[in-house]
Amino acid sequence: MVTLKSENLFNEAKKYIPGGVNSPVRAFKSVGGTPLFISRGNGSKMIDVDGNEFIDYIGSWGPHLFGHNPPFIREAILSALENGTSFGAPTELEVKIAKLICELVPSVEMVRMVNSGTEATMSAIRVARGYTGKDKIVKFEGCYHGHADFFLIKAGSGALTFGVPTSPGVTKGNAADTLIAEYNNIESVKKIIHENKTTNGNQIAAIIVEPVAGNMGTILPVENFLKELRELCNEEKIVLIFDEVMTGFRLSKGGAQELYNVKPDLTTFGKIIGGGLPVGAYGGKREIMEMVSPSGPVYQAGTLSGNPIAMSAGYAALSYIKDHPEIYDTLDKNSAYLEEGLKDGLKNIGKNFQINRIGSMMTLFFTEKPVVDYNTAIKSDTQLFGKYFHEMLKRGIYLPPAQFEAMFVSIAHTKEDLDKTIKASYESLKSLNY
């Protein structure tokens, strides 16, 4: 595989961009080698600047439910462009997409558009604090909610991959206001609440959680974990926030909360609601959302929030989901087929590496023990994963370049794509030295 153009671009990029990339995991540091610079994508495929073609399982980290560059989203963007890119004033489309989100996600009664998942989560926390009059939040070890200061305490995703779970630049005050619980361990949450009440009175404004963790690899909630969280928040008058930036509209039209039948007070979105463009949103109970300016005193603003280009792409994506709910059955069926094929390959080489999957997101963990939380995830052999990643790349399969990430299947992936991936995985696994 020739990668000369990518190598030259990376060397040039490092002169002007920190680490040569605009988001850390892209740098391939955890898997080694040079990142590939992508020139275009279509359907299930990506092509790099050297002309190498790959079956893609990143899908821009989740939003490409329909594959790359689907015609109906492209047409919506082009149509919007004819009228202008941004006005800094309300448009009808903002109202239409807000109504659609509220229709598809029953827990959401009002919604505010922003420009990224990070904006959504940091805003949701601010609103929860304003609503409750309390300062502290609880997050879970290994869960990632964007790069706002108060989230970078034992965070997942890039922070976990690069071994910087508490980032320099995060103040002691922020760290002190963020309490850390163990994912899938309700007793750890109860202990934190008890200790907080004993020392400070109840100062916990919110508990934020990925209902299905995707940023320490795919980790499903154990039975009743989310329901018990809901009950605990009700008892203690704590705002429950589901971070569905990754799972929202990816796992079902109503997100993970629909699958697990648990309604949070607030939900954060990103990824798919922009149809692949930079978009985020947060929404939930009317009485909480009416705290947001200009209805209430909690300030949050954004010049490009709700811009017509992103709203057109997002409205097209969500409308397709509404009109074609059967896509989730197709995604689950195809993802199950891929999972079973990968498991067969592991069985044939005598390994019991763990595969966690829900719907169209999954992770192959290079550990033979079940992965249910941060501590079990980090037991994975990251060096072995790095070797596997490059073996797959050589065979035309583009996986997330980090052990602690989810891979995503789209409706553009064909049976031929899946069979090629299964064959490549078996060959790659067989080539490794254990």
Do 272 and 335 sit in the same domain of this protein? no
Q: What is the rounded CA–CA span in Å between residue 333 and residue 321?
A: 17
Do 263 and 131 sit in the same domain of this protein? yes
> Dihedral of CA 277/282/284/285: which sign?
negative
Q: Supply the residues annotated as catalytic.
A: 144, 243, 271
Burial of 133 per CB tally in 10 Å (0-12, 13-18, 19+): exposed
Give the predicted TM-score (pTM) of the model.
Answer: 0.95
Q: What is the rounded CA–CA span in Å between residue 190 and residue 113?
A: 33
Question: What is the domain range of residue 410?
Answer: 4-69+326-431
Do 213 and 338 sit in the same domain of this protein? no
Do 206 and 313 sit in the same domain of this protein? yes
Domain boundary among 291, 323, 355: 323
Label residues 82-121 b or e (16+ Cβ within 10 Å = b): eeeeeeeeebebbeebbebbbebbebbebbbbbbbbbbbb
Do 374 and 398 sit in the same domain of this protein? yes
Do 161 and 211 sit in the same domain of this protein? yes
Q: Tokens 């009416």: give the residue.
A: 290
pLDDT value at residue 166: 61
Ranges in the chain, pLDDT < 70 = 154-167
Whichever domain contains 364, its CATH number is 3.90.1150.10
Do 352 and 413 sit in the same domain of this protein? yes
pLDDT value at residue 120: 97
pLDDT (tens digit per residue) in 321-355: 999 999 999 999 999 999 999 999 999 999 999 99
In the chain, the number of structural domains is 2
Do 367 and 297 sit in the same domain of this protein? no
Domain boundary among 304, 323, 342: 323
Helices 225-236 and 186-200 cross at an angle (nearest 10°) of 20
Do 303 and 180 sit in the same domain of this protein? yes
Q: What is the rounded CA–CA span in Å between residue 220 and residue 209?
A: 12
Do 260 and 285 sit in the same domain of this protein? yes
Q: What is the CA 332 to chain-centroid distance, rounded?
A: 18
Domain boundary among 288, 304, 323: 323
Do 58 and 116 sit in the same domain of this protein? no
pLDDT value at residue 174: 75
Q: Of 424, 389, 419, which is closest to residue 404 (Cα–Cα)?
A: 389
Do 285 and 352 sit in the same domain of this protein? no
Whichever domain contains 264, its CATH number is 3.40.640.10
Four-point Cα dihedral 202, 206, 210, 215, nearest 10: -90
Q: What is the CA radius of gyration of the chain?
A: 21
